[in-house]
Structure 1
């Protein structure tokens, strides 16, 4: 059971809640804050004060005063009219993360909701009822209005939900489980949709997958180094300490550890004086990607605990201010940075694939073919990798540099952060496939070396992967191999974290 406070949610806790389906509860201190801020909202309604979003219209309609008897109806109209999302739904795990993050923001006590709203979100999360939320339609400022409106629809018993891996109407699942829809009161609709939780939820899921992929990329690169008799001297600690980037230093340390007892890697001058950049510069390139991921992680953990709706009830209820915390620019920039970091892991991987299959660049059979000429071997796998890398380049164009005014120019600069987060997820999927192709090619290259000379770590990985993709003894439909191995990479966890902190210790592969 994880207790939410609105201030302390970590990415690892999000992982436990989203992936492991751990149950949640709200901290007693947060309950008190929720109740206090709600009292402020009800006092405003009773006293007839004019406060944006409580008794006014929204966006360009902010100057339209809403009568007391209509403030509840205003919230229902808001949710239904703003539920304009289109396209394929977000993955179910992103929907779950979105609910969690929205709840964590609301219980900070700045939003003026009733406990009923927080309790409803808690129930949905614990019962694993996840809103079906279309991916497209958010500008990433004024919050993720369209996606979060589809989330809010479910709280009031409308829209559709994922439940036990199928899609149902919310009404049918609520009836089945005895859950009552909530009736939104003053400010609650706006509090639910004014926020950055769509882009942040997708961003968190991106990060949790990217972290795994980045570690896997190092393992796969190590196999390629063995398959090409790469020069291990380029990973000497002194080189990387001389430059000083911690991430670069750590990548070199991990590669050295993985290959510590390998007899397939070489030293400079044995076979060649130096390797191509795609081998020699693995720590520099992968390390730079890790820098981008570290930046993203920091921003996501801040945003996961941020108050991002508008207006906010501040200073113990004494101050209510309309501001702009819903603007997604911090996450938009982070997602664009993440896109570049992931794309570069795939880009350098594709260059290593080329070195594995091109007979002009190695001493292996052309295209790793069992019968060169009669059989094409891995020739077209490199084409596929190149296509995916090229697609990544178009997706990596920053979404955050674009802005289109909305709401009659009241909302005249927007972040497009949700587009950036979605594109990052697409790049991530493409990159995993590129790495799967490199892994297939690296293992095939190793078939032409002495497998007994592999390091103990890479040998363990090799044996695991050979259960997924057999040796290429003749041409077959390689698409099936790529997809099967891609799925295995997504579901497996072989990362640096499996090793004890003692760098001399032996680790195994957990997969």
Structure 2
């Protein structure tokens, strides 16, 4: 997807993933622009008739009973952006900001917000010119919308706030003075349309979800490599066992593991061994990772609905001429989905840590202690496992739900909030931790497979092994390991490799 015309109603996770990785040009689809103009006409008619409508000619939140004179409507919108830009802490990553703008454009393009087309076009201009607002990561409770983050995102439209441009931080006014872009004047409802919505919470969850889909696939591959290394049986992955459980995710994971173990000389070599059963972290991979896949599918449905949802307030219905106040800005679906994905990914890390423990335990794996020759003088993977235990433990704390932590705001007018941004931020930390856990298991499993040579693993296991060895050499004696541990970033940015194992996993 080199270019994307947004219409407000057809975004999918696949389209957004493609956009993030290609950074193509964005535009608004023609019919969407007509809907935006029709809703804008309703807003202007309301003002001209002297009607009082929340968010158009009133104050906000607890101040919604204050009527604003016609000559102060522009100041109302300007003050809204300035006063609500109360974000704190370090900025979020650029990809999150890109997602926020992209989703906000799509949200406004549905034509129910009543904002001017100029607002949407300016967002498009900033995105296409790669002028990215600096958005502090904390300060939103996820209702009434992601007010503070979206206010920071919107300040550059009026020539205020800070931005990242060509990898350098600028004051927006500096770019304006250089003629790189021109600010706009906000009209009635423009500011409220910009900051009232769930785009920050959605962006956090979407980023995590995209990465989670890669991580569960890699976890399946890595588990297959570990199965080879410790001489586990492939019987628990047989199709007839999964059919009796009836769980979709479990069936899918078992199929993937079977495909990864296909043609394994290692598995074939111990078909008639005396071992009766393997530890649960090997035997129950389909049941555990299958539940993770089911959770991911649930979260994806929630997120894709939110991509094309209108989360503004009030809403403008141009067909009937009505302007209705509701609560679509409340991010509870995203908060719960973020908490669910946090739990699922914590389990990915938990079961991976257990397999690493088994790989390094000579009494379980039958491999040299801590996967190193001459153990004693060498410690091998001993402390690499300790690192995974640390990360898995941290994830257990982070996976406690944020969505149940309500704190009323705005003088109790906004008396129940979602805490979706908090849920999304801790979810992203879990994602980072699980990346490292899976990579350490991959390193350990490859090391174990080296001890099984000259026998080769299955087609997937060997593919994973070769990828590891292209990044990290065999550990023949102790060396500084943090250099090896950092290589996970190269693995996860190799989209061609991820596509290859995905195709292999799904093959019949």
Q: Same fold judged by TM-score > 0.5?
A: yes
Match of 1:497 in 2: 502
Matched, 1:52 2:54: yes
Asked if the contact 1:469/1:485 (under 8 Å) is kept, the reply is no
Asked if the contact 1:436/1:489 (under 8 Å) is kept, the reply is no
Using the TM superposition, give the Cα deviation of residue 268 of structure 1 relative to its aligned residue in structure 2, in angstroms. Answer: 6.7
The residue correspondences of 1:455-494 to structure 2 (distance < 5 A) are 455-492=458-495, 493-494=497-498
Structure 1, unmatched stretches of 5+, are: 504-511
TM-score, scaled relative to structure 2: 0.96
Partner of 1:361, secondary structure, is helix
The residue correspondences of 1:282-293 to structure 2 (distance < 5 A) are 282-293=285-296
Match of 1:311 in 2: 314
Match of 2:393 in 1: 390
Using the TM superposition, give the Cα deviation of residue 487 of structure 1 relative to its aligned residue in structure 2, in angstroms. Answer: 4.0
Match of 2:30 in 1: 28
Asked if the contact 1:377/1:475 (under 8 Å) is kept, the reply is yes
Using the TM superposition, give the Cα deviation of residue 421 of structure 1 relative to its aligned residue in structure 2, in angstroms. Answer: 0.8
Match of 2:102 in 1: 100
Match of 1:364 in 2: 367
- Pick the aligned partner of 2:208 from 206, 209, 214: 206
Inter-CA distance 436–226: structure 2 relative to 1 (3 Å threshold): same
Match of 2:325 in 1: 322
Matched, 1:172 2:174: yes
Match of 1:414 in 2: 417
Partner of 1:494, secondary structure, is helix
Match of 1:223 in 2: 225
What's the Cα RMSD here? 1.5
Partner of 2:417, secondary structure, is coil
Matched, 1:121 2:123: yes
Match of 2:379 in 1: 376
Asked if the contact 1:40/1:317 (under 8 Å) is kept, the reply is no
Using the TM superposition, give the Cα deviation of residue 15 of structure 1 relative to its aligned residue in structure 2, in angstroms. Answer: 1.6
Match of 2:245 in 1: 243
- Pick the aligned partner of 2:198 from 179, 196, 199: 196
The residue correspondences of 1:52-201 to structure 2 (distance < 5 A) are 52-176=54-178, 178-201=180-203
Between the aligned partners of 1:38 and 1:315, the Cα distance in structure 2 is: 8
Using the TM superposition, give the Cα deviation of residue 209 of structure 1 relative to its aligned residue in structure 2, in angstroms. Answer: 0.9
Using the TM superposition, give the Cα deviation of residue 246 of structure 1 relative to its aligned residue in structure 2, in angstroms. Answer: 1.2
Between the aligned partners of 2:267 and 2:175, the Cα distance in structure 1 is: 58
Between the aligned partners of 1:118 and 1:166, the Cα distance in structure 2 is: 25
Using the TM superposition, give the Cα deviation of residue 500 of structure 1 relative to its aligned residue in structure 2, in angstroms. Answer: 8.8
Partner of 1:130, secondary structure, is strand
Between the aligned partners of 1:177 and 1:420, the Cα distance in structure 2 is: 39
Structure 2, unmatched stretches of 5+, are: none
Match of 1:507 in 2: none
Using the TM superposition, give the Cα deviation of residue 54 of structure 1 relative to its aligned residue in structure 2, in angstroms. Answer: 0.6
Using the TM superposition, give the Cα deviation of residue 255 of structure 1 relative to its aligned residue in structure 2, in angstroms. Answer: 0.6
Using the TM superposition, give the Cα deviation of residue 177 of structure 1 relative to its aligned residue in structure 2, in angstroms. Answer: 5.1
Match of 2:402 in 1: 399
Inter-CA distance 469–501: structure 2 relative to 1 (3 Å threshold): closer
The Cα offsets for residues 300-319 of structure 1, whole Å up to 9 and x where unpaired, read as 00001110010001252521
Between the aligned partners of 1:33 and 1:315, the Cα distance in structure 2 is: 8
The residue correspondences of 1:265-276 to structure 2 (distance < 5 A) are 265=267, 270-276=273-279
The Cα offsets for residues 165-217 of structure 1, whole Å up to 9 and x where unpaired, read as 23222222344453110111111101100000001011111111111111111
The Cα offsets for residues 9-45 of structure 1, whole Å up to 9 and x where unpaired, read as 1111112222211112111111111111111111111
Asked if the contact 1:332/1:421 (under 8 Å) is kept, the reply is yes
Asked if the contact 2:330/2:418 (under 8 Å) is kept, the reply is yes
Match of 2:254 in 1: 252
Pairs aligned (count): 503
Between the aligned partners of 2:121 and 2:315, the Cα distance in structure 1 is: 21
Using the TM superposition, give the Cα deviation of residue 94 of structure 1 relative to its aligned residue in structure 2, in angstroms. Answer: 0.7
Mean CA deviation greater in 460-469 or 289-298: 460-469
Inter-CA distance 278–472: structure 2 relative to 1 (3 Å threshold): same
Between the aligned partners of 2:376 and 2:399, the Cα distance in structure 1 is: 37
Using the TM superposition, give the Cα deviation of residue 454 of structure 1 relative to its aligned residue in structure 2, in angstroms. Answer: 1.6
Inter-CA distance 424–439: structure 2 relative to 1 (3 Å threshold): same
Between the aligned partners of 2:267 and 2:106, the Cα distance in structure 1 is: 50
Asked if the contact 2:39/2:318 (under 8 Å) is kept, the reply is no
Between the aligned partners of 2:429 and 2:202, the Cα distance in structure 1 is: 16
Using the TM superposition, give the Cα deviation of residue 465 of structure 1 relative to its aligned residue in structure 2, in angstroms. Answer: 1.5
The Cα offsets for residues 118-156 of structure 1, whole Å up to 9 and x where unpaired, read as 100111111122111001000001000000000110111
Between the aligned partners of 2:337 and 2:55, the Cα distance in structure 1 is: 29
- Pick the aligned partner of 2:21 from 15, 19, 25: 19
Mean CA deviation greater in 388-397 or 313-322: 313-322
Between the aligned partners of 2:13 and 2:179, the Cα distance in structure 1 is: 30
